Amino acid sequence: MAQVTLSQISKVYSNGFTAVHPASFDIPDGEFVVLVGPSGCGKSTMLRMIAGLEDISSGGLNIGTRQVNDLDPADRDIAMVFQNYALYPHMNVRNNIGYGLKNRKIAKAEIDRKIREASAMLNLDDYLDRKPSQLSGGQRQRVAMGRAIVRDPALFLFDEPLSNLDAKLRTQMRIEIKALQRRLGVTAVYVTHDQVEAMTMADRIIVMNEGRIEQIGTPTEVYNRPETTFVASFMGAPPMNLMVGVARDGQLRVGDEPIAAHDLPTSGKVTIGIRPEDIVPDENGDITIDVTLVEELGAHRLLHGTLAGQDISIHVDKDNIISVGSLRVSLKPNAVSLFDAITGGRLT
C-alpha cells in the first residue's frame, strides 16, 4: 500500500506536443482514483508516466516515500492491468498468473500458494489449466487481475480494463474490481473514458480535458458541483443542460422565461446549467418548455425539447405521462449552476 504524490508532472512528447500540462495531486493510501476524460485528453499518458512506461518531462512522482521518476517499471512496486489483458497465449492460466513471480526467484510452494489464493478470490479455480484462447473475455480479464494481485503491489494501475467487454459484463466486472480493491486495501489509479465507470468505481474522480485537470472530487462533488462547463457536460447521461442566459435586476432568464435563482453573483450574459432530473413537470410552474420528443426508457422517460428556443432535456419517472407540446415545469431547489459565459468557470 502506498500514497502517491504527483508534483507538477508534465509530458511533452518528442514532437513538441504537450500531452499533460503540469499537474499536481495526492492519492492517499488505499484510495481508488479514476482518471476520466475524452479521447486524447492525456489520461493514458498520465497513467503511463506513473507506471514508468513513459518518461516524465518535468515534475516529481513519489510512490510511498520514494521518488520514482528514474526507476524502471519493474522497480516501482506497481502492477498494471491493460485493456488487451496482455496474457501469454501459449501459457495456461496458472502460469499466466504466476509468471511475474517466477522472475522474482520466489520458492515454488509460495508461488503455488499465491496462485491458489488469487484464483479462489477471482473464481478461476476451474480454469487453471486452460489457455487464454479457451476463456471468455471476462475470465481473461480476471486472469490479468490475478497476475496483478499475486505480486502484492503497492499500487494497482488500470488502463481501460473493461472496454473490450460487453455492457452486462462490464457492469459485473466493475463491481468485482471495486470489491477486490476494497478487500485488498490497495491504492489504485484507473483510466477510463466512461463517466459511468468513473462515477460508480471512484473514491475520487480526476476529470481531464486537453492535457489539463478540470476538476478533482468525489463522484457526488463532481456531479453536483461541476467546476466548469466541460465537467458539467462530460459527467452525466444525458448531460447537464447548458443554456445561454442573462442575469439582470436579480432575475435570471433564458429568453423571456424566468429561471429562479438566489443571490446572483453577476449581471449580464451567463451560462446556466440545470441537470435533466432537476426539472419537474408542474402545472403551476413559471417555466414553459416545448416538448418535441418523448423517449421511453422503461423506468424513466426522457423529454427533449426547447426552452426559449434553446435545446433542453428533462428526465422524469415513468409515472409522468407526457406528450409532445407545451409543458409547464418548475425547478428543484438548488437546481441552477451558473458558469462564466466566456471562461466556462463556475460562478456559484
Site string for ligand ATP, 23-42 (x = CB under 6 A): --------------x-xxxx
Within residues 37-76, the interface with ligand ATP by CB under 6 A covers 37, 39-45
User: Distance between CA 331 and CA 308 in Å, rounded?
Assistant: 16
Question: Which one of 13, 67, 129, 295 is in contact with ligand ATP (CB under 6 A)?
Answer: 13
CB of 289 to ligand ATP, least distance (A): 35
Burial of 258 (0-12, 13-18, 19+ CB in 10 A): exposed
Closer residue to ligand ATP (CB): 3 or 164: 164
**Do 101 and 151 contact (CB within 8 A), yes or no?**
yes
Q: Does 16 bind ligand ATP (CB under 6 A)?
A: no
Of 17 and 65, nearer to ligand ATP (C-beta) is: 17
Q: What is the total count of residues that contact ligand ATP (CB under 6 A)?
A: 13
- Residue among 193 and 275 whose Cβ is closer to ligand ATP: 193
Distance (Å, whole) CA 86 – CA 72? 19
Contact range with ligand ATP by CB under 6 A, out of 12-20, 70-78, 140-148, 172-180: 12-20
Secondary structure, 3-state, 284-322? CCCEEEEEEEEEECCCEEEEEEEECCEEEEEEEECCCCC
Return the residues of window 184-203 that contact ligand ATP according to CB under 6 A: 193
Could you give the CA distance from residue 287 to residue 152 in angstroms, rounded to a whole number?
57
Alpha-carbon distance 104 to 87, whole Å? 18
Quick check: 15 binds ligand ATP (CB under 6 A)?
Answer: yes
Nearer of residues 222 and 316 to ligand ATP, judged by Cβ: 222
Beta pairing partners, 282: none
Minimum distance, C-beta of residue 295 to ligand ATP, in the bound complex (Å): 28
18 vs 92, beta carbon nearer ligand ATP? 18
Widest Cα–Cα separation across the chain: 77
Nearer to ligand ATP, 44 or 119 (CB): 44
Q: In whole angstroms, give the CA distance from residue 108 to residue 116.
A: 12
> Is the Cβ of residue 13 or residue 88 nearer to ligand ATP in the bound state?
13
Torsion of CA 41, 45, 50, 53, to 10 degrees: 170
- What separation in angstroms does the CA of 92 have from each of 89, 115, 119, 301? 8, 12, 13, 48
Considering only the stretches 11-19, 98-106, 257-265, 327-335, report the one whose residues sit in contact with ligand ATP under the rule CB under 6 A. 11-19
3-state secondary structure of 191: strand
- Cβ nearer to ligand ATP, comparing 14 with 65: 14
**Which residues make Cβ contacts (< 8 Å) with residue 149, sequence separation at least 6?**
79, 118, 121, 122, 180, 184
Give the range of 10-18, 123-131, 286-294, 331-339 binding ligand ATP by CB under 6 A: 10-18
Smallest distance from ligand ATP to CB 41, Å: 4
Task: Tell whether residue 17 is a contact of ligand ATP (CB under 6 A).
Answer: yes
Strands 155-159 and 78-81, how do they pair?
A: parallel
Min dist CB 318 to ligand ATP, Å, is 35
CB of 167 to ligand ATP, least distance (A): 18
Cα–Cα–Cα angle for 18, 340, 257, nearest 5°? 140
Contact status: 88 vs ligand ATP (CB under 6 A): no
Binding residues vs ligand ATP (CB under 6 A) = 13, 15, 17, 19, 37, 39-45, 193
